[in-house]
């Protein structure tokens, strides 16, 4: 999503306004994959539903057929879920907000991965909940874990079995963010969710934002059964219900479309783009470490170089017309070291990758030169202090 602290966001907005700017940040899906024609037909069909259903108020849990769709897909992955367990939310973000409202108080600690989804960190901080970097398991004083077991953002990795086992052995509640579960590059289906193994303490959150389109804001929350009424009250107090029209459009779309074929297509598409961006990075930024992702929208670049990420971003945006997501945005402690960058292959056309990474490499060289200049000036001042030369 479009995400970030205000200084970074200001730079990214500046870039978005320039016609020649290339944004390798942001984590937006590829707009060429939005099934516009099919959604248009679904929109018309939704408007013609009897009793003006798509334009009318509805219950806070959301529409039945959509909840059944979510439950069926989770059942296929091993979770014992029925439509009555699902709450349709305004995107996954609202599911995360409701889950954290139930599980955490001001001052609570939530265990997160070393790099995690920035808008979840922002959500916790806004509630005065402290996100802390913890590896899975054995942390009794946490109010909850926030994890992306199926496919992580930003690294594009599935959780390893040892961490999964540690999390399941622990009794701490888990907010399971499944947003990227269906954007994986191998041919395997999305893995068994943690919800399947610990339904009494997993708040499972999903979305159609990554696979269909984010603009409709259709996501879901499957809370533990004993928390369902509380989750529904929170949902109702926030916005009464999720958008009826968006839900009806998605229901109509799903009733006509071959959604699995759509998923297979987008997975191939993003896998190709990931490979192309990897190649551009290898050509122009050989100094960075990057692992091929198993899914998701982005590459995670790391370097031992002592560059200041904000300085690099400023040079990249203002002088070279390219942006990226700085690594500190993804860390619970906001640290900018070791230097890391998230580069998204999802939204931009492949033909722009070479130019985009070349611009970033130029910005990198300028940031490095500026650092060297600063060090030389500092060394000069230190030498002047150590051996003051008096003019006679």
Site residues for ligand PLP per CB under 6 A = 1, 27, 91-93, 117, 148, 153, 177, 179, 207, 209, 214, 219
CB of 370 to ligand PLP, least distance (A): 32
Answer for the pair 228, 203: CB distance below 8 angstroms, yes or no: no
Beta-carbon neighbour count of residue 179 at 10 Å? 28
Q: What DSSP string describes 229-252?
A: HHHHHHHHHHHSSS-HHHHHHHHH
Q: Tell how strand 298-303 and strand 87-90 pair up.
A: unpaired
Residue number with CB closer to ligand PLP (153 or 247): 153
CB of 379 to ligand PLP, least distance (A): 43
Answer for the pair 241, 59: CB distance below 8 angstroms, yes or no: yes
Residue number with CB closer to ligand PLP (25 or 27): 27
Q: CB neighbours of 290 closer than 8 A, spacing ≥ 6?
A: 278, 281, 299, 300, 301, 302
Answer for the pair 252, 45: CB distance below 8 angstroms, yes or no: yes
Residue number with CB closer to ligand PLP (172 or 209): 209
Q: Which two tokens stand for residue 51?
A: 């009793």
Residue number with CB closer to ligand PLP (95 or 356): 95
Beta-carbon neighbour count of residue 204 at 10 Å? 27
CB of 152 to ligand PLP, least distance (A): 8
Instruction: Tell me the C-alpha distance between 270 and 291, whole Å.
Output: 16
CB of 181 to ligand PLP, least distance (A): 10
CB of 209 to ligand PLP, least distance (A): 3
Residue number with CB closer to ligand PLP (179 or 341): 179
Residue number with CB closer to ligand PLP (25 or 199): 25
When CB distances to ligand PLP are compared, the closest residue is 91
CB of 363 to ligand PLP, least distance (A): 25
Closest CA to 192 of 207, 210, 208, 204: 204
């Amino acid at each position: 999503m479009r995400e970030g602290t205000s200084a970074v966001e200001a730079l990214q907005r500046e870039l978005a306004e320039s016609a020649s700017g290339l944004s390798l940040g942001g984590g937006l899906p590829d707009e060429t994959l939005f099934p516009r024609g099919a959604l248009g037909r679904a929109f018309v069909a939704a408007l013609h539903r009897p009793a003006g259903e798509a334009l009318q108020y509805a219950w806070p849990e959301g529409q039945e057929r959509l909840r059944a769709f979510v439950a069926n897909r989770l059942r296929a992955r091993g979770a014992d879920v029925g439509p009555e367990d699902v709450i349709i939310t305004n995107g996954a973000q609202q599911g995360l907000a409701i889950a954290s409202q139930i599980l955490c108080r001001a001052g609570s600690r939530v265990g997160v991965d070393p790099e995690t989804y920035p808008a979840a960190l922002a959500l916790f901080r806004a509630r005065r909940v402290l996100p802390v970097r913890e590896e899975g398991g054995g942390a009794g004083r946490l109010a909850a874990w926030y994890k992306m077991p199926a496919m992580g953002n930003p690294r594009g990795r599935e959780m390893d079995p040892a961490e999964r086992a540690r999390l399941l052995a622990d009794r701490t509640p888990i907010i399971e963010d499944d947003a990227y579960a269906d954007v994986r590059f191998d041919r395997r289906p999305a893995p068994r969710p943690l919800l399947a193994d610990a339904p009494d303490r997993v708040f499972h959150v999903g979305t159609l934002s990554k696979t269909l389109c984010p603009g409709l804001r259709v996501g879901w929350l499957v809370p533990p059964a004993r928390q369902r009424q509380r989750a529904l009250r929170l949902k109702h107090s926030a916005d009464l219900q999720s958008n009826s029209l968006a839900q009806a459009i998605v229901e109509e779309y799903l009733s006509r479309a071959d959604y699995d074929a759509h998923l297979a297509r987008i997975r191939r598409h993003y896998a190709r783009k990931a490979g192309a961006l990897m190649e551009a990075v290898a050509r122009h930024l050989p100094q960075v470490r990057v692992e091929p992702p198993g899914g998701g929208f982005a590459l995670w670049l790391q370097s031992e170089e002592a560059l200041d990420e904000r300085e690099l971003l400023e040079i990249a945006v203002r002088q070279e017309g390219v942006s990226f997501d700085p690594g500190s945005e993804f860390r619970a402690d906001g640290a900018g070291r070791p230097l890391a960058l998230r580069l998204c292959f999802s939204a931009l056309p492949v033909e722009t990758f070479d130019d985009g990474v070349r611009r970033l490499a130029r910005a990198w060289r300028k940031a490095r030169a500026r650092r060297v200049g600063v060090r030389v000036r500092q060394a000069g001042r230190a030498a002047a202090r150590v051996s003051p030369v008096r003019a006679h």
